[in-house]
Amino acid sequence: MEYRIEHDSMGEVRVPADKYWGAQTERSHENFRIGVGIETMPAEIIHAFGILKKAAARANAELKPQKMTSARLEVIEKACDRVIAGELSEHFPLVVWQTGSGTQSNMNANEVIANVANEFAGEKLCHPNDDINMSQSSNDTFPTAMHISAVLALEDRLIPAALMLIEALKKLEKENEGIVKSGRTHLQDAVPIRFSQEISGWRSSVERDVELIKLSLDPLRELALGGTAVGTGLNAPEGFDSLVAEKVSELTGREFRTAGNKFHALTSKDELVFAHGAVKALAADMMKIANDIRWLASGPRLGLGEIHIPENEPGSSIMPGKVNPTQCEQVTMVAVQVMGNDAAIGFAASQGNFELNVFMPVLAYNFLQSVRLLSESIVSFVKNCVCGITANKEKMHTNLHNSLMLVTALNPYIGYENAAKTAHLAYEKDMSLKDACVSLGFLSEEEFDRVFRPEDMA
C-alpha cells in the first residue's frame, strides 16, 4: 500500500495515499481498533455532517466573507455534496468506540471535505480546522449531526413504515367486519369480541405511536451549532447560530432552529431520550401485535388456529412440513433490541458532566440502529405477514361457542354467583352452558335460548 505524509498539531502521520482522510482521522483509526468495519459511525451521522458543514460554510460566507471566500465556498460545497450523496463512505472509517465527544468523526469530516475541496480547487485552498471547521467545535457539531440525523431518520423511515402498517391493518379490519370470536384476557377465555375490533386495537396503537413520535420531533429541531466549545459561542460570529440553522433548513427542506440555550444543547441529551422513548413505545406495541398474531396462528391443529398467516419458509430441519411464524419472531427480536438500546441511551444521556456529554457516539449509534431496524422490521412484517392474514372462521366459531365465559351474558338474568355455578358445572362435567344452567334450574331451555346470543355480545 502506498502512503502519503499528513501532519497535525502532534506531528506527522502516514495516511493511505488513496484515502481522503488526514492525520487526526488516521490516529483515531490506529488507536481505536474496536469493532472495526462493523460498528463504524452510522452513515446517517456522516450524511448529517455533510449537511451541517455545507450550511456552516454558507453562513460563514455571509458573516465572514474575508475568510470564507467565494472560491473556498464553491469547492467546499462541492465536497459536501459528495458526502451528502454517500459517495465518500469508504473515507469515513472511524468506529463508534472513540472519543465520547465525537471529535474524531468531526475531524474526519473536516479532513475529507478539505482534501476533496482542494482536489476540486487544484491547490491547497482549504484547511480542515481553519476553513471546514470555521465557527464550529466538535462539541456543537456532533450534537447537531445527531439531531439532524434523528429527524431525517424518523420522518423518512420510521413514520412511513408505521403508516404502511396502519394502512394494512385498516384493510384487514375492513375485510373481517362481522366476524365474532372469543376474546381473551390473562391468556384465558373472555367474552366475545369482533375480530375487526381486535384489529382496530392494533391499528389504534400504531396510530398513537406515530402521534408520539411526531411530538418528539419538535425538540429535535433545535440545533447546538453556534455554541462552539462550551456553549458560549467563542470564535463564532454574532448571528451565526440562527443563520446556520436557517441554512440547514434550506438544505434539508425541514424546519430546524437554533437552540435557545447552548449550554443545555451541548451537555443534555434529553431530546434524544424523549424521542427514543416514543420509538420504544412503537417497539413495545409491535411486540404485542406480533405476539397476538403468532398466538392466534398457533397450531395448526393443537393451538388456537384462529387465523392463517403466510407460509414463507420451512420451519424445521427435522420435522417435515413444519412452518413457523418467522415474521412475528423477527419483529419481537427487533423490539427487544430497541428496548435494550433505550437503556443504553438513557445511561449515556445521564453522563453529561459539566459542559459536555461524552457518550454521544454510542447514543447516536443506538438511536439510529433502533430507527433503522424497526423501520425495516415493520416493512418486512407488513409485506410478508400482515398482508396475508386470513381468518379461520370455522375455528373462531367453534372456540367461541365452547367458551365458558359466554356465561357472562346470563349475569343480568340469574346473577353473578349462579352464573359462576353454571360455568363451574359445565367445566367439571364437560357439558354445555345450556345443559348446566337448565340442570341447575336457573333457566328453562326456552329462556336460555332467548337470552343467550354470543354473536350479540360483541
Q: With a cut of 90, say whether residue 424 has pLDDT above it.
A: yes
DSSP H stretches of helix in 16-129: 23-31, 43-63, 70-84, 103-121
Q: What share of the chain is helix, strand, coil (3-state, %, to 5)?
A: 65, 10, 30
CB 2, CB 17: distance < 8 Å? yes
Number of H helices, E strands in the chain: 17, 10
Which H/E stretch holds residue 106?
Answer: helix 103-121
Q: Which of 81, 80, 110, 108 shows the shortest CA–CA distance to 95?
A: 108
Helix axes 159-175, 360-384, angle to 10 degrees: 30
Provide mean pLDDT across the span 42-56.
Answer: 98
Q: Do domains 3-134 and 403-457 have the same CATH topology?
A: no
Average pLDDT of the residues in 316-338: 97
What pLDDT digit, counting tens, does each position of 14-32 carry?
Answer: 999 999 999 999 999 999 9
Alpha carbon distance 261, 223 (integer Å)? 10
Q: State the average pLDDT over residues 155-172.
A: 98
Long-range contacts of 293-298 (CB under 8 A, 24+ apart): 293/325, 293/328, 293/385, 293/386, 293/389, 294/325, 294/328, 294/329, 297/325
From 375, 373, 426, 372, select the one nearest 404 (Cα to Cα).
426
pLDDT at 6: 93
Query: Known catalytic residues?
Result: 186, 316
Q: What is the pLDDT of residues 123-145, one digit of tens each?
A: 999 999 999 999 999 999 999 99
Q: Which fold has domain 403-457?
A: Ribonucleotide Reductase Protein R1; domain 1 (1.10.40)
Cα distance between residue 97 and residue 89, in whole Å: 18
d(C-alpha 28, C-alpha 259), whole Å: 30
Of 97, 5, 114, 92, which is closest to residue 48 (Cα–Cα)? 92
Report the mean per-residue pLDDT for the chain: 97
Q: What is the DSSP letter of 237?
A: -
Domain boundaries, the chain: 3-134, 149-219+262-394, 403-457
Q: What is the pTM of this model?
A: 0.96
Q: DSSP letter for 95, please.
A: B
Q: Which three cell numbers stand for residue 124?
A: 491547497
* Tens-digit pLDDT profile for residues 242-300: 999 999 999 999 999 999 999 999 999 999 999 999 999 999 999 999 999 999 999 99
Note whether 111 and 25 are within 8 A (CB): yes
Q: Which is it for strands 3-8 and 11-16: parallel, antiparallel or unpaired?
A: antiparallel
Cell 357472562 sits at which residue? 408
The mean pLDDT value for 327-344 works out to 98
134-160: burial string, b at 16+ Cβ within 10 Å, e else: bbbbbbbbbbbbbbbbbbbbbbebbbe
Average pLDDT over residues 174-196: 97
Could you give the dihedral angle defined by the CA atoms of residues 67, 68, 74 and 76, in that order, rounded to the nearest 10 degrees? Answer: 110
The owner of cell 502521520 is: 13
Q: Which residue stretches of 257-410 are H helix? A: 262-267, 270-296, 326-349, 360-384, 393-402
Dist. CA 11–CA 15, nearest whole Å: 13
The pLDDT score that the predictor gives to residue 342 is: 98
* Closest by Cα among 182, 153, 192, 138 to 47: 153
pLDDT category at 1 given cuts 50, 70, 90 is confident
pLDDT band at 180 (very low <50, low <70, confident <90, very high): very high
Per-residue model confidence (pLDDT) at position 341: 98
Architecture of domain 149-219+262-394: Up-down Bundle (1.20)
Peptide bond into 300 cis (omega under 30): yes
Lookup result for grid cell 430546524? 256
153 in Cβ contact with 254 (< 8 Å): no
Lookup: cell for 257: 432552529
For the domain spanning 3-134, the CATH number is 1.10.275.10
Average of pLDDT values for 303-332? 96
- Taking the CB of residue 73, how many other CB atoms lie within 10 A of it? 20
Q: What percent of the chain has pLDDT over 70?
A: 100
Per-residue pLDDT reduced to its tens digit, 342-369 = 999 999 999 989 999 999 999 999 999 9
Name residues whose C-beta falls within 8 Å of residue 418's C-beta, 6 or more positions apart in sequence: 410, 440, 442
Average pLDDT over residues 227-249: 98
Q: What is the pLDDT of residues 55-92, one digit of tens each?
A: 999 999 999 999 999 999 999 999 999 999 999 999 99
Instruction: Name the phi and psi angles at 155, rounded to 5.
Output: -75, -35
